Chains A and B, each alone.
Chain A
Amino acid sequence: MSERLHLWVNGQEVDLPVVPGEMLSDLLRYRLGLTGTKIGCNEMECGACTVLVDGEPILSCSYPAVRAQGKHVLTIEGLSKAVEETAKASTEESLHPLQEAFIKYGALQCGFCTPGQIMTSYALLLRNPEPSDEDIKTALKDTLCRCGAYPAILQAIKAAAKAMRTGSPVEPPAIPPASKPGKYVGKVHPRPDAVAKVTGRAKYTDDLQFEGMLHARVKRAMVPSAIVTRIDVSKARALPGVVAVLTAEDIPGEHNHGLVIYDWPILVGVGERVRYVGDALALVAAETREIATQALDLIEVEFEPLPVVSDPVQAAQPDAPKIHPNGNLLKHIKVRKGDVAQGFAEADVILEHTFYTPMHDHAFLEPECSIARPTPDGRMEVYVGSQIPYADRQQIARALGWPETRVHVIGQLMGGGFGGKEDIAGQIHAALLAHATGRPVKLLYDRHESLIAHPKRHATQIRVKVGAKSDGRLTAVETELYGDTGAYASLGEKVMTRATTHSSGPYEVPHVKADCYAMYTNNPPAGAFRGFGVMQSAFAIESIMDMLAERLGMDPVELRRKNALRVGSVTNTGQVLRQSVGLLECIEKVEAEMRRLGGPNPFEPKAVPGAPHLRRAWGFAVGYKNTGLGGGAPDKAGAEVELRRDGTFQVRTSSAELGQGLPTVLQLIAAEELNQSPRRIEVLLMDTDLTPDGGPTTASRQTFVTGNAVRYAARALKELLTSELSERYDVPPEQVRFVEGLAQINGRTLTLQQVAEEMMASGRPPVTSYTYWAPATRPLGEGGDMHFAFSFAAQAAEVEVNTLTGEVKVLRMIIANDVGYAINPLGLRGQIEGGAIMGIGHTLTENFILKDGHVVTDRLARYRTPSIVHTPEIISFVVEHPVAEGPYGAKGVGEIVLIPTPPAITNAIYNAVGVRVDRLPVDQEMICKALNNC
């Protein structure tokens, strides 16, 4: 047996001692520092860890390192290096055509899957230089991208293959600019972080190493409802290599955390209550992750079991066990407009139906990771990919019993968030352990823990009753929602408020009544998730709109057009829409394209020639989603812009980049305002010492709110520079101009370096900051503007249903989104396509299953997210009805993109085979049974 491991990695010989139990990914990441190879699941499901061994792609997370004995391993780091070696002295970094194509086509968002995608594609191109779409789909079948960049990935691979075959440069994608492009905004630009992401150099939290770092693990309750009667950590403490084991009594500060309500115990102590399986009982820090894991098993815990409340309707029963001292009702949310009794009395047709949606997991490809590091000056640094760095700082400080300024949150690149990285995950736990041990502590969740612990999308039950005149005009909509907010409040009240206010759809309805009961249960907490409650209510209302159209014998598009919100409409919360309502244009764009592709009767079933058991049809749905926090919450963001000594600019704000492309947006805005190319502008995000508070990255608000903050800060900087120079050179301000890298002052030219030097020398640093306050909003129930902007969308989906088996495929989608203004068209396309693909996942593949509070879908193999094989052809239209206050007219993009997708698909299924899906996800067995009576 060989004691040493000998192999070649990226062409270099490696000779190392054998470590028992080591997987190739561990060797690459932790012993060789090649952190470009990512770990998304550690269970052979996601493909993020793909590397080539002797030219074949394999999953390094489950490939024993010793098996690579004598073999050649190629990682993402080796791909660009291989090119560098052949490229002649060029100033630009030499990238592989695949890397270049991924950048150009926007085939990456958060970038966490990117190394795996590129390595898998590289292996494909080695064998097949001219792959078809089908070949690409087959090869990338199990290389998952939660950001849903599949359409761009597919095109990028084809473009790269072509460039490699022909030796010509990678052709750029055909992406239209904004309708009124500026010099920089509204045009296609690559992401500033793209090169780092395609080369594997981009660092995510787990890629960081610190001297003396300990590894933490969390003992979780794994029972959904109980009183803890005993915790004995003595055996765990005695295990060699264990440095600290903490329980509730070791918390120096406050014991609970929470984003709105402090109801979530940091650790559940003896005598206290466990409310869901993911509740933390004890924390371990040890020299290695392996020892920490062993220590978990040595912690002895006893419980007194309590009854389990497993669904929100059960939770609302008067005799249901109480999960929190005040009972199980987090909030009863009401919307009232007019008088529904009158509305139904006026109706010619009344329909009522109940719909169900399950919990969903964000399944961001990068599992949660936090590193806490005590600094010599007595502060605590926390490295984490978080959507709300300032809230983290506040919550960590609270738990430590410290003033907030002693905590320094240093935001890291995030491998996806989608709302799932708003709540505190390991940040507090890592900080407590770092505080107790005086050493840096890394707390990395594995996929299993991530699925169990973090907040999900609310499962809902939604009853809808609609009344309409025979010409289709809606007279009344009444909805009743139950939302499963799980064990703790998280953002439950806000999510379910959004679900409720949007539950009558983007329609002008004279009489509306909506009641929502956000209920605590013993399920994992539910919180923010892209779409924020509106995904659920859109499924209900858009399904019943199609049912209504059928009942009325009306075209479903016509029915929606008749009732659609437009400028001048009054929403169900009493808001008068004064501007920026592009819904009708979205409907028209999608309808025209659908009829072009699907003929005059796109909603009629069509048999597939030669395959009589396959039926195709189109389905249609619309949606809307607020931009910004709304409901009276102060919505503001701060930003700083600085001209640095080297003549470049830095934009700073703590707003978070989860992959959605905020840095590009902010870069382009600053570039436009300063009249400098984006290359001269660096964006620094998410650092609570260095960047001003940008508020939470939620509610599709960052382009609008932080975008404006940057815009005004950049303007202020330009004014500052102008006034300074006009004073110094004694010229009127109009004669001071800025061009690329230069200031022109009445015939004289200074470089921006000189400007920066001069200003600093005179004690007036060239930096400005701006806090932007979004237009004020009013709380629900008070009428007036509940939100300062809404985005709108229409979608059509073409499905194919196998009438023999019930299987469903989405073939094509047509999408139009009114986003106000397309500041960043490349990023926008990524958001639109990625949103649709997430919507397809929510409809066809995803189902977070619980059984009596226990998580059944506790592995990625059981919680399946859509892959490239589920990716249809997507035709997208961008509609731009600007908001006066938005930057260049822009409003939110991130969430609207997925809201109409599930009902568009289920409506298409109904049109194809006459089976109404009222429960997500689509159950092919149910469809089959309905069609075949089996």
Chain B
Amino acid sequence: MRFWNAYVLARSIEEALDILSHTPGPALPVAGGTDLLLEIQQGEHEPVHTLVDITHIPELKRLEQTEDHLFIGAAVPVSRIAESPLVRFHALAVAEACGQIGGPQVRNSATLGGNVAHALPAADGMIALLALDARAEVASLEGRRLEPMENLFKGPGQTALDLRREILVGFHVPLRRSHQASAFGRVMRPQGVALPILNTAVWLERHGEVIGDVRVAIGPSGPVPRRANAVEAVFRGRPCNEETFAAARQAIRDSIRFRSSPLRASAEYRYHLSGILLEEVVIKAWQRTLEPSVVEAV
């Protein structure tokens, strides 16, 4: 089937941006294609004339630690991220989330760049990046910039990036310091779409017996992914105990508008699950804060 007319393997960011912005017909970047090609194959996407495959661009395939951050290339297959000792050390939530996307075959193609640019409110990798306070490196014809994750979304399934002139290069994740840790969890249902009913990622810092700084992301919690600020506020400076969790559950009820999605879950079920999942993930991260944290340990 002629799903596209031209499929270009771009060798550099410049080449990719050049083709994207200068081809006459509709053009889009493609990474693993596990979202995009599927939609095109099923006739659920407007016609695309040119696909610019970015998975052969060396810079987008980098996965490395720099002075002050971990860099995860936008086109690194999530299977590699899930198994990477670097990611598992600095951003375990991201590795855990990536390890749960699809099956092994899908994970060998799927990328974090695609997971984020697809902009679904409960994409697993994206939710984990959000909690880790990652910054997205965006390349455009004008140059490079770093964007906070929250700035990348316009609506459900709508990225704020202009994919005719911008691509994601990768994600900068802050390095893990002592007494910091992250965790990810989700609840699925066995019937229907492969998307989770609910997922949650948490990053936190331990100050003795209380939680210090903390970041929480819960999906799907609205049209665009965002951090659960009110929930975070509850945890700050509090011990990791039932009283805190009760307050956090209340904060979820007060601050998050879950929706009922007909074949997946009702809003009430999500409220119920979100408290359970949050507790599970926070406890997991809390326990991890005591694990060895010297960067050189990797």
Q: Is the CB of A924 within 8 A of B189?
A: yes
User: A123 to B79, alpha carbons, bound, how many Å?
Assistant: 13
Which of A136-144, A341-349, A566-574 binds B?
Answer: A136-144
A731 interface residue per 8 A CB criterion: no
Known: A21-B1, A56-B108. A62 touches B38 (CB 8 A): yes
Residue A846 CB within 8 A of the other chain: yes
Q: How far is the CB of B238 from chain A (nearest CB, A)?
A: 22
CB under 8 Å from chain A, chain B span 85-111: 102-106, 108-109
Residues of A within 8 A of B3 (CB): 21
- Establish whether residues B6 and A1, one from each chain, have CB atoms under 8 Å apart when the complex forms: yes
> Is residue A925 contacting chain B, with contact meaning CB distance below 8 A?
yes
Query: Within the assembled complex, what's the spacing in Å between the Cα atoms of A139 and B103?
Result: 7
Verify B55–A67 contact, CB threshold 8 A.
yes
- Neighbouring A residues of B194 by C-beta, 8 Å: 861
Contact A58 B109 (CB under 8 A): yes
Encoded as 1 (CB less than 8 Å from any B CB) or 0, chain A from 215 to 241 comes to: 000000000000000000000000000
From residue 666 to 717 of chain A, which have CB atoms closer than 8 A to chain B? none
Q: Which residues of A contact B266 (CB under 8 A)?
A: 925
**Contact: A63 with B33, CB < 8 Å?**
yes
Pair A925/B34 contact, Cβ less than 8 Å = no
Complex CA distance for A60 and B171, rounded to whole angstroms: 28
Interface stretch, picked from B137-145, B226-234, B271-279, is B271-279
| Contact residues in B for A889 (Cβ distance below 8 Å) | none
Complex CA distance for A20 and B25, rounded to whole angstroms: 15
Closest residue of A by beta carbon distance from B102: A142
Contact B1 A289 (CB under 8 A): yes
With beta carbons under 8 angstroms apart, the residue of A47, A805, A849 that contacts B276 is: A805
Known: A56-B108, A925-B265. A64 touches B37 (CB 8 A): yes
Q: Select B104's contact among A120, A289, A805, A846, beta carbons within 8 Å.
A: A120
A138-B263 contact given A62-B37, A63-B109, A846-B191, CB 8 Å threshold: no
Q: With a CB–CB cut-off of 8 A, which chain A residues contact B189? A: 924-925
Closest to A50 in B: B105
A69 pairs with B9, CB closer than 8 A: yes
Q: Which residue from chain B places its CB closest to the CB of A846 in the assembled complex?
A: B191
Q: How far is the CA of A870 from the CA of B187 in the complex (A)?
A: 16
Interface size class for chain A?
A: 35 or more
Among B6, B79, B191, B272, residue most surrounded by chain A Cβ atoms (within 10 Å)? B191
Expressed in whole angstroms, the minimum distance between the Cβ of A287 and any Cβ of chain B is 13
A921 touches B191 (CB 8 A): yes
**Which one of A579-587, A790-798, A926-934 is at the interface?**
A926-934
Q: What string of 1s and 0s marks CB contacts (under 8 Å) between A842-860 and chain B?
A: 0011110100000011010
> Closest chain A residue to B103 by CB distance?
A142
Assess whether B190 is interfacial by the CB under 8 Å rule: yes
In the complex, chain B residues whose CB is within 8 Å of the CB of A723: none
Contact A43 B41 (CB under 8 A): yes
Bound CA–CA A58/B103 (angstroms): 10
Select from chain B the residue with minimum beta-carbon distance to A61.
B41
**A57 close to B276 (CB less than 8 A):** no
The A1-32 residues at the B interface (CB cut-off 8 A) are 1-2, 18, 20-21
A72-98 CB contact bits vs B (8 Å, 1 = yes)? 000000000000000000000000000
Which residues in A have their C-beta under 8 angstroms from that of B53? 64, 66-67
Shortest Cβ distance from A138 into B: residue: B104
CB contacts under 8 Å to B, within A853-895, are: 856-857, 859, 861-862, 864, 870
Q: Which residues of B contact A924 (CB under 8 A)?
A: 189-190
Point out the residues of chain A lying under 8 angstroms from B6, CB to CB.
Answer: 1, 20
Q: Report the separation of the CA atoms of residues A389 and B33 in the bound assembly, to the nearest whole angstrom.
A: 41
A862 near B192: Cβ-Cβ < 8 Å: yes
Within the complex, which residue of B5, B190, B193 is in contact with A862, where a contact is CB–CB below 8 Å?
Answer: B193
The B contact surface, by secondary structure, is mixed
Residues of B158-207 at the interface with A, using a CB-CB cut-off of 8 Å, are: 187, 189-194
B220 to A: closest C-beta gap in Å: 16
1/0 contact trace for B29-47 toward A, CB 8 Å? 0000110011001100000
Residues of B within 8 A of A125 (CB): none
CB nearest neighbor in A for B189? A924
Determine the chain B residues whose CB is within 8 A of the CB of A845 once the complex forms. 190-191
A868 to chain B, nearest CB (A): 10
Complex interface bits, A34-49 against B, C-beta within 8 A gives 1, otherwise 0: 0000000011100100
Complex contact B38–A43 (CB within 8 A): yes
The CA-CA distance from A849 to B3 in the complex, in Å, is 29
Q: Are B104 and A864 in touch, CB under 8 angstroms? A: no
The verdict on A59 contacting chain B, using a C-beta distance below 8 Å, is yes
**A724, B266: Cα distance in complex, Å:** 77
Contact: B191 with A847, CB < 8 Å? yes
**A576 and B104 alpha carbons, distance in the complex (Å):** 55
Which residues, 53 to 96 on B, are CB-close (under 8 Å) to A?
Answer: 53, 55, 79
B34: chain A residues within 8 A (beta carbon): 44, 62
Chain B 1-42 per-residue mask, 1 if CB under 8 angstroms from chain A, else 0: 111111111000000000000000000000001100110011
Partner of B33, one of A1, A64, A141, A934: A64
| Bound Cα distance from A859 to B51, whole angstroms | 25
Q: How far is the CA of A713 from the CA of B26 in the complex (A)?
A: 66
Q: Is A807's CB within 8 Å of the partner chain B?
A: yes
Chain B residue contacts of A928, Cβ below 8 A:
269, 272-273
B2, B79, B104 interface centre (most CB from chain A within 10 Å): B104
Nearest B residue (CB) for A932: B272
A266 to B99, CA, bound (A): 48
Asked if A575 is at the interface (CB within 8 A of a chain B CB), the reply is no
Q: Does A804 contact B (CB under 8 A)?
A: yes
Distance in angstroms between the alpha carbons of A189 and B227 in the assembled complex: 60
B118-134 vs A, CB cutoff 8 Å, 1 = contact: the mask equals 00000000000000000
**How far does the alpha carbon of A925 sit from the alpha carbon of B1 in the complex, in Å?**
40
Asked whether B104 lies within 8 Å of A57 as measured between CB atoms, the reply is yes
Considering the chains assembled together, what is the distance between the CA atoms of A925 and B106 in angstroms? 28
Instruction: Tell me, yes or no, whether B147 is within 8 Å of chain A by CB.
Output: no
A139 to B191, CA, bound (A): 21
Instruction: Find the A residue at minimum CB distance from B49.
Output: A20
**B291 part of interface (Cβ distance < 8 Å):** no
B9 touches A934 (CB 8 A): no
Given contacts A58-B105, A289-B1, contact A856 B263 (CB under 8 A): yes
Alpha-carbon gap, A925 to B7, bound state (A)? 44
> B247-276: which have CB < 8 Å to A?
263, 265-266, 268-269, 271-273, 276
A448 at the interface (CB under 8 A from B): yes
The 8 A CB mask of A818-849 against B (1 = contact, 0 = none) is 00000000000000000000000000111101
Q: Which B residues are in CB contact (< 8 Å) with A862?
A: 192-193, 263
A92 to B191, alpha carbons, bound, how many Å? 45
**Once the chains bind, are A929 and B108 in contact (CB under 8 Å)?**
no
A612 to chain B: closest CB distance in Å? 13
B residues within 8 A CB of A807? 187
With A20-B2, A928-B269 already in contact, the answer to whether A44 and B8 are too (CB < 8 A) is no
Measured in the bound complex, the distance between the Cα atoms of B38 and A751 in whole Å is: 60
B157 to nearest A CB, angstroms? 16
Question: Given the complex, which residues of B lie within 8 Å of A856, measured CB to CB?
Answer: 263
- Of the listed residues A846, A864, A870, the one surrounded by the most CB atoms of chain B closer than 10 A to its CB is A864
Chain A interface (Cβ < 8 Å from any Cβ of B)? 1-2, 18, 20-21, 42-44, 47, 50, 56-59, 62-64, 66-67, 69, 120, 123, 138-139, 141-143, 289-290, 293, 448, 804-805, 807, 844-847, 849, 856-857, 859, 861-862, 864, 870, 921, 924-925, 928-929, 932, 934
Since A20-B4, A64-B51, A934-B271 are in contact, a sample of 18 more A-B pairs with Cβ atoms closer than 8 Å, ordered by chain A residue number, is: A44-B102, A56-B79, A59-B109, A62-B37, A67-B9, A69-B9, A142-B102, A289-B1, A290-B2, A805-B273, A845-B190, A847-B191, A862-B263, A924-B190, A925-B189, A928-B273, A929-B269, A934-B269
Q: A-B pairs with the 4 shortest C-beta distances?
A: A142-B103, A21-B2, A934-B272, A845-B190
Name 21 interchain pairs, CB-CB below 8 A, sorted by A: A18-B7, A20-B4, A43-B38, A58-B109, A64-B53, A69-B9, A138-B104, A139-B104, A141-B103, A143-B103, A293-B1, A804-B276, A807-B187, A847-B192, A862-B192, A864-B190, A921-B190, A925-B266, A929-B268, A929-B269, A934-B271
